[in-house]
Structure 1
Amino acid sequence: MKLIYCLPLVLLALSACSTAPVDQTGTSSEPPADAGDIALQPLRVPALTALPETPARALAGKYQAVNWGALPGWQADSLDHVWKGFINNCKGLMRPVSGSLAMPARANPRAWQPVCQAAASAGLDADSRDTAAIRQFLQEQLQPWRLLTGDGQIAQNTVTGYYEPLLQASRSRSGQYQWPLFAAPQDLLTIDLGSLYPELAGKRIRGKQVGKRVVPYDTREQIVANADRQPPVIVYAQDPVEGFFLQIQGSGRAVLPDGSAVRLAYADHNGRPYASVGQWLAKQGEMPLAQTSMQNIKAWAQRNPHRVQEMMNVNTAMVFFREERIVDPELGPKGAYGIPLIGERAVAIDPTYVPLGTPVFLSTTYPGSGQPLRRLVFAQDTGAAIKGAARTDFYWGTGDQAGAQAGRMKQKGEMWLLWPRNAGVPSAR
């Protein structure tokens, strides 16, 4: 998934973002696997006794119970893809939690066990479009809770957007396919600082061993320049700027010359800080900062092919990928919850207010307009810049159209958590 959650505008992602690529968005706490694997498995709901109780995690928000009629536009939501999302979400909910404070807060599996059991026996196919039956199930099983701030005020916050880039690539280096996208190198070390210092739980550094010392891992420039010791190449991108932008997003799809596609999912990074190529171009006098969109940077690269690598080397951070099969074109990469995202049905949230795995009703507007965008979504991702009550990043899906929507989105929004009706106030583990 995404490396840096700074895409309210493409301009911001390429010129104004300064979040370092640490604690990766979209990094699943689950073992690495193909993004679609969980979607291929049937929903298995264990007995309640098989889900151990773990200590509760404190949430920073407050929650006000309301009836379904209080949700603006609820009856107008077509609920397309919601049942597939709900079943997949239950597959995530029914995994026992580890209780590790290094992981983002998750919805309490024991609270969800009866609801997921009811979903498994509801008689609805995973691809069901039976809107009436789905709406009835949700209203019978779930209770809406309006999200409030810690001091009890209605939580309203910024809603930005993100997406899964699509680029043209080849397995072999030839012709226009010259820009490598790497798998993780074997000599990359990840050191978990929390294992030594509990106050640094969740903090990690990357490096490599040189003799008896661990030193910072190579910069982008060093990796590219050292042809004899480069990491394995998965594919070669046709366009350098698109390949670079895919690294900022942290995941994407590569379309090969035969028309097939593979997903490049985030695997790791070199631990170096992110730097803005847009700001570099502006300081070089190549274009005004306000014009450093991806499209303008691509045009500059086409006019200055001899300076493209120089430009990219400004950003010392390098992302490494792993290849995943695409088993369902409707499913995107995995978010931080380890569940494949569905376009326009998944969001990134701050898990200190909304536990991962929680269905949410989001009320906002379409990018650059006042047209209402109100729908049920699933809290399945997190991000370094997604902090605060109701702060949200809306996943638009795959490709250029999704990217155009994501790049323009910087709206205001509010949300309601949809929680098991008989489980009390939303809780986290």
Structure 2
Amino acid sequence: MAGDAPTSPIATLTSSAPDADEHRHLSFVSLPGWIEDDHRAALRAFRKSAERLFAEATPLPDRLPGLEAAAAAALRLPADPSPAEARSFFESYFVPAPAAAKGYLTGYYEPVIEARREPTDAFSVPIYRPPAEAAQTEVTDRVPACPDRAAIEAGALAGRGLELAYVRDPVDLFFIHVQGSARLSLGGGQHMRIGFAGKSGHAYTSIGRLAVERGYLAKDAAGKAGLELWLKMHREAGRRLMAENRSFIFFNEIVDLAPEDGPLGAAGVPLSAGRSLAVDPGFAPFHLPVFVSAPPLAGFGADAFRRLMIAQDVGSAIKGRGRGDIFAGSGAEAGKAAGEIRHHGVLRLLLPKASA
């Protein structure tokens, strides 16, 4: 309907933020941590977005004039630019948004889980491909056509040939759902990469929050490690608690990723550890650079976290202005770090100069 088009997130940050006038002439050098950051690492992540932008058949959004020029310039740079060249690139093609968003940061990672392609006595928990009735987002205006988590775990999709692989433990599967991707170790040196391909359409519910509200876990023990341990120590209660998150995630095998690549984000870009950020698309469009400031974060050194990241993913729990989810990498150590990131932070978009 005419007049109902969504407001551009860039327009929101440049015109309606309460502190916009105060920071109207903000410069890069006034951003704490900007000069010290590794701009080459940020540029490597942005180049992946640039390649994706030019591979897409659809035109770039009208609300991002200037991003195409920035992407083209990034691809013209030397394969291994100097720190000065990388920093100069961002300062030449972008400008800090006039207002920052105070928000909340969490972390996510790519689990590495033992699995099998066919079911066995030990590996009997199925990872499903999406059925025809799967959704891509939560369904808010109608009843979801797809069964919810409890129904699927009770066998609602069995016998339809949707099984992609099998893992040992339903708790492991639950956290694959939370992360949205995984590397599956199939035995015999074989591996499979899987990525998000749809969801049940039911609303996401944080069972970590429920565990705290019901007194199962203290708030400071309700990160990924603490919640996983509780679920595995309280099998029946854990099964019921997991079922309260009615959202169920489906996967496809990803066959075109190099072993050194991260998983594919929702933007269709291989994620870069410590440089890819999941955001609400209503706050930051895909491929946009975002400068993130936070206290020291697990896995990222003892100093304050101040680095340039690229919006390349989304998440069911990542909703609202200033909400961000930091991709920490792959494997157990990345999972430990990601599970400990629960910090308030500040996110500042870098706007293509033609949009500013």
Give the TM-score of the pair, scaled to structure 1. Answer: 0.66
CA contact (8 A) 2:135 2:199 kept: no
How big is the shift at 1:380?
1.9
User: Helix, strand or coil for the counterpart of 1:331?
Assistant: coil
1:223 corresponds to which of 135, 143, 152: 152
Q: Does 1:392 align with 2:324?
A: yes
Give the letter aligned to residue 102 of structure 2: Q
String of CA shifts for 1:55-83, please: whole Å, max 9, x gaps.
98463212634332112222221235333
Give the letter aligned to residue 72 of structure 2: Q
2:105 corresponds to which of 144, 159, 166: 159
2:46 corresponds to which of 86, 89, 92: 86
Give the letter aligned to residue 206 of structure 1: P
Q: Does 1:259 align with 2:189?
A: yes
2:254 corresponds to which of 324, 337, 344: 324
Q: Does 1:372 align with 2:304?
A: yes
User: Which consecutive unaligned segments of at least 5 residues does structure 1 have?
Assistant: 1-53, 100-105, 149-153, 195-199, 208-216
CA distance in 2, matches of 1:191, 1:236: 23
CA distance in 2, matches of 1:424, 1:377: 19
1:343 corresponds to which of 261, 270, 273: 273
CA distance in 1, matches of 2:238, 2:327: 30
**Aligned residue runs from structure 1 range 274-293, under 5 A:** 274=204, 287-288=216-217, 290=219
Aligned to 2:124: 178
Aligned to 2:17: none
Q: Does 1:112 align with 2:67?
A: yes
How big is the shift at 1:298?
4.9
String of CA shifts for 1:351-373, please: whole Å, max 9, x gaps.
44433221122222223797311
Which of the pair has the greater relative contact order for Cα pairs under 8 Å at 6+ separation? 1
User: Helix, strand or coil for the counterpart of 1:374?
Assistant: strand
CA distance in 1, matches of 2:142, 2:264: 21
| CA 279–344 in structure 1, closer or farther in 2 if over 3 Å, else same | closer
CA contact (8 A) 2:291 2:350 kept: yes
String of CA shifts for 1:186-213, please: whole Å, max 9, x gaps.
4x2659999xxxxx8xx67531xxxxxx
User: Helix, strand or coil for the counterpart of 1:323?
Assistant: strand
User: Helix, strand or coil for the counterpart of 2:266?
Assistant: coil
CA distance in 2, matches of 1:419, 1:277: 36
Aligned to 2:76: 121
How big is the shift at 1:92?
3.5
CA contact (8 A) 2:13 2:97 kept: no
Aligned to 1:133: 85
How big is the shift at 1:110?
4.1
CA contact (8 A) 1:171 1:256 kept: yes
CA contact (8 A) 2:40 2:86 kept: no
CA distance in 2, matches of 1:342, 1:389: 22
User: Helix, strand or coil for the counterpart of 2:286?
Assistant: coil
**Aligned residue runs from structure 1 range 33-112, under 5 A:** 57=8, 59-62=11-14, 64-94=24-54, 95=56, 108=63, 110-112=65-67
Aligned to 1:26: none
CA distance in 2, matches of 1:146, 1:170: 48
Aligned to 2:351: 419
Give the letter aligned to residue 142 of structure 1: Y
CA contact (8 A) 1:193 1:205 kept: no
How big is the shift at 1:255?
1.8
CA distance in 2, matches of 1:55, 1:185: 30
CA contact (8 A) 1:157 1:412 kept: yes
User: Which consecutive unaligned segments of at least 5 residues does structure 2 have?
Assistant: 15-19
Question: Identity rate of aligned residues, in percent?
Answer: 28
How big is the shift at 1:410?
2.4
How big is the shift at 1:322?
0.7
CA distance in 1, matches of 2:160, 2:214: 29
How big is the shift at 1:247?
1.2
Aligned to 1:242: 172
Give the letter aligned to residue 87 of structure 2: R
Q: For structure 1, which segment, 107-116 or 352-361, has the greater mean C-alpha deviation from structure 2 after superposition?
A: 107-116
User: Helix, strand or coil for the counterpart of 1:338?
Assistant: coil
How big is the shift at 1:116?
2.8
Give the TM-score of the pair, scaled to structure 2. Answer: 0.77
| CA 129–257 in structure 1, closer or farther in 2 if over 3 Å, else same | farther
